[in-house]
Amino acid sequence: MKNVTKTLRHILTAFMLLWIVFSTQNAHAVSSWGIGASYEIRDSDPGRGFGLRLERGILSGVPLLDFKLRAHLSYFSENVSTYRDVQLPAELDVYDFGIAVTGGIGFGLLHPYAGAGLGREQFEASQPGEEPDGTLGISFDDDSIYWNLYGGVRLPILPAVSPFVEYRFTRLMSAEEFDYNHNSRLAFGVTLSF
């Protein structure tokens, strides 16, 4: 009797584990579309901003693998007390948009992913100067094409809701006025799948 109870307990435990794994997998299979928003922190000024993303699942017939095409847009804005060795306050704005391909593993509760993409970053800076009308101020903008690599992890807590954390490295290819040729960012956000 003890062996039967012990065997039934092992079988029941195995079925429960299989049910958890496969019910999670089926609930979070590759969806057709996803839209997300994120709070992002960069290592270059301006340092904080927000992002939006639109994703489309591709190659849904591959088991356990999750491939997506992504379009993303980020906006960063910051008022700084000095900029480029000029002791005047400045307003810095960065617009970043691009496309990417993402590949990940959709198994269990954590879904790690990585990807690569291309995009364009536009930088704007304005320093109003000492005159109220801003005539002595400095203003410029520049843009650059970039490539990026990123990796992150999703936690699909519900079939349609997936919080994520992502690290992205961006290498600028053609900027003249930027104070940097690369930047890194950390994004915290949520994706809704439908």
Query: Is residue 15 pLDDT above 70, yes or no?
Result: no
Where are the chain's structural domains? 2-193
Contacts of 170 (CB under 8 A, 6+ apart): 96, 119, 121, 146, 147, 148, 182, 183, 184, 185
Percent of the chain whose pLDDT exceeds 70: 71
Q: What's the pLDDT score for residue 100?
A: 95
Q: What is the SS3 string spanning 32-59? A: CEEEEEEEEEECCCCCEEEEEEEEEEEC
Mean pLDDT of 94-111: 88
Instruction: Tokens for 40, please give them.
Output: 């992002």
CATH class for the region spanning 2-193: mainly beta
Percent of the chain whose pLDDT exceeds 90: 35
pLDDT band at 19 (very low <50, low <70, confident <90, very high): very low
For 125-158, write each residue's pLDDT tens digit: 777 665 555 555 667 777 888 999 999 999 988 8
Mean pLDDT of 32-47: 90
Distance between CA 27 and CA 182 in Å, rounded?
Answer: 38
Query: Is residue 1 pLDDT above 60, yes or no?
Result: no
